[in-house]
Amino acid sequence: MILEKKKAFNEFAAAKGLRSTRQRDIILDFFLSTHQHVSVEELYLKIKASHPGIGHATVYRTLKLFTEAGLAREILLHDGQTRYEHALAGEHHDHLVCTGCNAIIEFEDETIEKLQKEIAARHGFMIRRHKLEIYGLCALCRAPR
């Protein structure tokens, strides 16, 4: 799993003529061992604890590379912080976002996906991507105390 992703990035890097650097290896290791939907700042701070030399800019740049390579996906929720999640080829899902505890629940609904395509077709619109985010309170945050 993790090895496959590393391999995938190495292939992407090779194809693009990118150099192999210590920083990119470290950032990839941290990203792969991180929970879903990590913000750049969160990841940067985690890395900085054991690798103080690594800079903000490199983390930003490298996450964009991972996205280009297909390992990561950018998620823009309503808090002004870009987050990244692990991307699996061909996989797609949407998000329930708890505004109480910031938990994120993933879901996928084939019918919704199909209806979106029908709506687009009806308007002669060609879909490139979409985002469906449902904001509210998760079961835990709804519970009294």
Q: Are 40 and 46 contacting, i.e. CB atoms less than 8 angstroms apart?
A: no
Q: Which of residues 24, 44, 72, 85 is near Mn ion by CB under 5 A?
A: 85
d(CA 30, CA 35): 10
Binding status of residue 127 toward its own copies by CB under 8 A: yes
- Residue 106 near Mn ion by CB under 5 A: yes
> Pairing between strand 104-107 and 94-98?
antiparallel
What count of Cα atoms within 13 Å lies in the side-chain half-sphere of residue 47?
29
Chain position carrying tokens 């991180």: 34
Residue 64 contacts which entry, DNA, Zn ion, Mn ion, none (Cβ below 5-8 A, type-dependent): DNA
CA 122/CA 100 separation, integer angstroms:
37
Q: Binding of DNA at residue 18 (CB under 7 A)?
A: yes
**Is 129 among the residues that bind DNA (CB under 7 A)?**
no
DSSP 48: H
Among its own copies, DNA, Zn ion, none, what binds residue 99 when CB lies within 5 to 8 Å by partner kind?
Answer: its own copies
Contacting residue, 29, 36, 45, 53, with DNA by CB under 7 A: 53
Using CA atoms, how far residue 120 sits from 77, 96, 130, in Å, is 23, 23, 11
Dihedral of CA atoms 107, 113, 114, 120 in degrees, nearest 10, equals 160
Residue 67 contacts DNA per CB under 7 A: no
Which C-beta is closer to Zn ion: that of 87 or that of 103? 103
Q: Which residues bind its own copies (CB under 8 A)?
A: 76, 78, 96, 98-99, 105, 107, 109, 111-112, 115-116, 119-120, 123-139, 142
Q: Which residues bind DNA (CB under 7 A)?
A: 17-24, 39-41, 53-58, 60-62, 64, 80-82
| Residues lying near Mn ion in the complex (CB under 5 A) | 85, 106
